[in-house]
Amino acid sequence: MTKIGLKTLGVIIGVGATLALGLDPGPSEGAPARSRPLVILPFQATSPGETESWIGEGVAEALHLAFTRVSAVLPVDRARLEQVRQAAKASSFPSDERGAATLAKALQADLVFFGTYRREPEGNVILQARYLDVKGGEGRPVEVVRGPVERLLELQGDLVGNYLKALRLSAKPDEAQAIAAAARPTVSLVAYEAYVRGRRLSRERTRSGFEGASELYSRAVEVDPGFAVAHFHLGMAQLALGNRWKAAAQFRAASQTDPRLPEPYQALGDLFMKGPRRLYDQAIEAYQKAIALRPHFADAYVGLGDARAAKGDHEGALAEYNRALAVDASSARVHLSMGKIYYNDKGLYYEAVASYRKAIDIDPQLLEARMGLGEIFEEKGLYKDAITEYQKVVDADPGHTGALYNLALAYEKVDVKQAILHWERYIALASGIPTEKDWVDVARQHLRKLRAMEKKE
């Protein structure tokens, strides 16, 4: 198949207009040295009766947006942070050094940003920031930022500059300005509040959460159409809800609003890889654009590796995965991809199992890794182990038809009654899904056969 230009590509994915990537950087020659993992905690309120907790979330989100642009550090995905908090059954995040150190250990991070905010009666807000260098074992203060709450977006930019100075992270004046500007992603505080509340709902990883987040992101971009990051996350929420075309449109809007933002290109690469037509060359181009914009973008290296693997270049894929690991050794996605290539393309059982387990350790909600591990166990005849992994997927997502189907198949080898029960569950769930029609027909054949066997017994 000849390479399709991105103008044609925009039509194919339903956007209906040109998406120009601008430059073609060619294959990546290497990745930068490993960045220091950084945990950014929501700032905690100290004002009596404070109910606007979104402000503390907003400060953390702004710091995250800014420091993703700093190659010396690697902000930990805030969804992973939320998982650790929930696992610890903590009602809130800590604002002290001991609690920060505990979270850093759980997330294998080197640095933690944390702090408090206080709203004063006259309308000012005070941001008291600290950071913890885990190796040094001592928390240090960052210069206090104070100003009217209406200027919160500007104050966040000032706070970023203070953190850069405190950590002695050198940056050219234009780079420092761009980093600080990333903490002010919109001109509207109203839009920013909606965005922050949407991010909180997205991290729940539930359908209702994504639906609520979509409404809030939509409100944010309605108030400020130039809010590129909100466009991007609206696209991600739509994608989670299964609306590929709406997602693609938002990714395009984000890239047009801010051509320096790499995440929309990485997301488009993923869309090209997973769509009905596998547009591998276009995916490679999109991932390369993302890497050109941010050379320390681990997920883009993983996507590039997946695209090379899909084209049969397995050694090239592993090279990209290793570049991703050089940037972010705690990337669940890269371990998932390495597990696939180790088993499916190289037949390396132990290496594949180790990679899948590593992905699950990092992100227990990465159900694709559990599915991959279950499939390996099933192929090796370890049916009980396979059942355990498939059941964990179903427990996390009761509507996961693939896991229910595989669970029924695995139970056929060890427990006919359980197999019948799970085939019935799968058929009841999948019968109304058009894409599952052929699989439902197969499931019914299995069910008839098992019931006949049960009657004979």
Query: Per the domain annotation, does 60 fall within a domain?
Result: yes
Residue 68 lies in a domain: yes
Polymer length of the chain: 457
Position 147 in a domain = yes
Whether residue 435 is contained in a domain is answered as no
Range of the domain at 133: 31-184
Count of domains forming the chain: 1
In a domain, 225, yes or no: no
116 belongs to a structural domain: yes
Q: How would you class 388 by CB atoms within 10 Å of its CB: exposed for 0-12, middle for 13-18, buried for 19 or more?
A: middle
Q: Provide the residue-wise pLDDT of the chain in tens; the chain has 457 residues.
A: 333 333 333 333 333 323 333 333 333 445 455 678 999 999 999 877 766 689 999 999 999 999 999 988 999 888 888 777 777 666 677 778 888 888 888 888 899 999 999 998 888 999 999 999 988 767 899 999 999 999 999 999 999 999 999 998 877 777 888 888 899 999 999 999 999 999 999 988 888 999 999 999 999 999 999 999 999 999 999 999 989 999 999 999 999 999 999 999 999 999 999 877 889 999 999 999 999 999 999 999 999 999 999 999 999 999 999 999 888 888 888 999 999 999 988 889 999 999 999 999 888 888 999 999 999 999 999 999 999 999 999 998 898 999 999 999 999 999 999 999 999 999 999 998 888 989 999 999 999 999 888 777 6
The model carries a pTM of 0.80
Q: Round to whole Å and give the CA distance between 212 and 358.
A: 32
Q: Which CATH number covers residue 162? A: 3.40.50.10070
Q: Is residue 262 part of a domain?
A: no
Flag whether 378 is in a domain.
no
